A and B are shown apart, each in its own frame.
Chain A
Amino acid sequence: MTGQVDLNRLRETLTRNQSHTENENTSIPKDQKVYVSPEGKLVMGNDANSQRTLAEVPQTVFA
């Protein structure tokens, strides 16, 4: 179980990483990406436990 995500930090991270293509942005370090757990919870990269299976959120924006 993960702790609650800081939504302001999440927004800053997404804004910083935002891309207009669907291609994976490999230039972003893993600890600066945003992930989702199998339980449907957002996980910040630096809070991610490498032993857990997490799905990466595409770094595209809502527009």
Chain B
Amino acid sequence: MRRYLRLLYVQARASATIAMQYRVDFLVQGAISVFWVFIAFVPLRVVFSSKAGSVAGWSYPEALVVLGWFTLLKSVLEGAINPSLQAVIDHIRKGTLDFVLLKPVDAQFLVSTARFEPWRLTDFLASLGIFIYAFTLLGRAPTPVQLAVGLLMLGLAGLVLYSLWILVVSAAFFVVRIDNLSHLLSSIYDAGRWPIGVFTGAIRILFTYVIPLALMTTYPAMALLGTLEPVTALGALVAALAFSGAARAVWLLSLARYTSASS
């Protein structure tokens, strides 16, 4: 365990060092992140200004809380998950995954922590701004219990997102040119900026059970707002653990079929 923590520290430091070399990029990417938060904000503003009151039972500040979680989780997705995803896919295609597999640590851990992009911190800061704005509009603050449940939900959301990512990487063992799967993942994740209640029928089932967007952004928001049922929270906990277990199993199964690039 301590060995893995030390390894994580080394990997994170290497990523930070790389990022420090490109300071202009840091500023540009930071500005772009803030710009995208603004782009995500405008449709929300227009939707709610075209109709006073609520959409699918969500008021404007409540929907803002969902947008806040969306932005926060997006910083995790683009700062910690996506960069490594690209790296593994490259490894698989070029056959250099061999070198990773030869090392005496768990391969999944090694590839998952290979690359971080620290400048996504701007997204994180932007999400804090959204939360503050939303709760100012609501005129109250979340209680410590609500905050704790919200953070637990965030942990689960991160776990599910990460598991989805492991599933995508596993697909790269079977199909060769798959770089844009991460693009697909991000485009689907984009739908998470809206409360799950606005979707109906098949799309809602898809986003609740198959690609659990509801768990990623809506449930944490409900936790923070104090409207999350304990049963739903418990269900989310079980589902997230089962999902990550399944993802781990699929990864091991796919790894067993890996035959390097040239053989």
- Whether A associates with B in a native complex is no
Q: Which B positions have Cβ atoms within 8 angstroms of A?
A: none
A residues near B, CB below 8 A? none
